Amino acid sequence: MKFLYFFLGVAFLTNSLQAQQLPLFNEYSENSFVINPAMAGWDGQQILSASYRHQWTQIEEAPRTFALGYRQFLDKKNMGLAGHILRDQTGPSAYTAISASYAYQIQIGDEDERAKFSRNRIALGLSLSAQQYELDGAKLSFNDAGDPVDLGQKDQVILPDASAGLLYIGDNVYFGVSANQLLQLQSKFETANQNQYSVIQRASHVQLQMGGRIPLHKEKQTPSVLFPSVWVKYAANAPMQVNLGLRYIWNNMLGVSANYVSNGSFLTHFSFRYNRQVQIGYTFTQPFGQYSYQLGQSHELGLSFTFNKNKDSWHYRH
């Protein structure tokens, strides 16, 4: 626990903190609209999903994140809708968010109406959210008694926020850019000393998403597809993070992927899809580097249910 609280203590030694502040997900394709609201319903599916992530298992009270999401696309209106509830707990701090996302797709080129999966569109997206930040100051200890940033109590702050995104959708490629925490509001926690506050400045995050699909063995009854992807995250005063991935899906049913993350970790993901409706996935992350032994691995479980099982998504087209 001391190892975890060390990092939290460093954060509160400054009056204002700007860094990577958003909860992380290894398997971001199931939560893509959380990253980029323009990806709300982009895959054409109506899906209810849930995920649970336990990060850094060697550390007591390490981050644990739970998310429940829903997304769908309205074909006749070219609109995507999505919403999610997220809860992230890390030792003495917690984060809860409720958000709604809206995306509108604009056709920018010819689409053959006879071609079932033809797409050449730009999507514009916006997300609005209510976020609650909690901190139990009684669980934080400082070297100096009466330190001006010593909270000494439990406090919480509720703030609104917004995200915006842009996405290009092609038959076999996509490219998106998004900005999160646009309002950049401050989380002010009252300290043990009267009329003093510890302030965390919410920093905007810029993220890029790109990828493609490469159908294999299209002439066979058991087709397979490759999905290369790149995900870039940037926040002020934090190192840029790049996630490079490659996924293989066999017969619209079994999936396996490998990703390298520039922060010094490697992850593998496995998924199984039953009856084109129920999908379960598991992601294992192994960190590398100076603190890998103290941190331990990360695990993530995902479960999703597809309502329109007779309609193929972007990921399962052939």
C-alpha closest to that of 263 among 229, 287, 290: 287
Instruction: Write out residues in the chain with pLDDT < 50, as ranges.
Output: 1-20, 114
- Check residue 8 and give its pLDDT: 47
- Check residue 56 and give its pLDDT: 82
Task: Judge contact between 228 and 245, C-beta under 8 A.
Answer: yes
- Check residue 18 and give its pLDDT: 39
Question: Which tokens belong to 32?
Answer: 């893509």
Question: Which tokens belong to 157?
Answer: 């702050």
The structural domains of the chain, with segments of one domain joined by +, span 2-310
224-233: per-residue pLDDT in tens? 899 999 999 9
C-alpha closest to that of 159 among 193, 123, 129: 129
State the Cα torsion 134-139-144-150 to the nearest 10°: 20
pTM of the model: 0.82
CATH number of the domain at 2-310, out of 3.40.430.10, 2.40.160.40, 3.40.50.2300, 1.10.10.10?
2.40.160.40
Size (the chain), residues: 318
C-alpha closest to that of 231 among 251, 221, 245, 220: 245
Please tell me the distance from the alpha carbon of residue 174 to that of residue 8, in angstroms, as a whole number.
Answer: 37
Exposure on the CB side of residue 206, measured as CA atoms within 13 A:
7
